[in-house]
Amino acid sequence: MCLGIPGKVLSIKDDVAEVDFGGVRRHVSLLLCPEVKVGDYVLVHVGFAITKLEEEEAQETLRLLEEYLGREEFD
């Protein structure tokens, strides 16, 4: 039930955004995320944006992996 679906904000009118979920467009309330702007990616739960998504921090994962796979003691 805690499912969150990511989508891209296409337009905003008052507290409601039109959000694109991979081709399907839905209206989403921005009452919980008033700072969201057109072009942002948001995570949507039961019709409400609950957070703005940041760029995937892929660097972080790579760093973790290097740390483990690079160390001889774990090989």
Summarize as ranges the residues that interact with another protein (CB under 8 A): 1-4, 29, 31-34, 43, 45-48, 50-51, 53-57, 60-61, 64-65, 68-69, 74-75
Min. distance of Cβ 60 from another protein in angstroms? 7
- Phi and psi at 72, nearest 5°, equal -65, -35
Rg for the chain, CA atoms, rounded: 17
Min. distance of Cβ 11 from another protein in angstroms? 19
- DSSP 3-state percent helix, strand, coil across the chain (nearest 5): 20, 40, 40
Q: Which is nearer to another protein, 21 or 68 (CB)?
A: 68
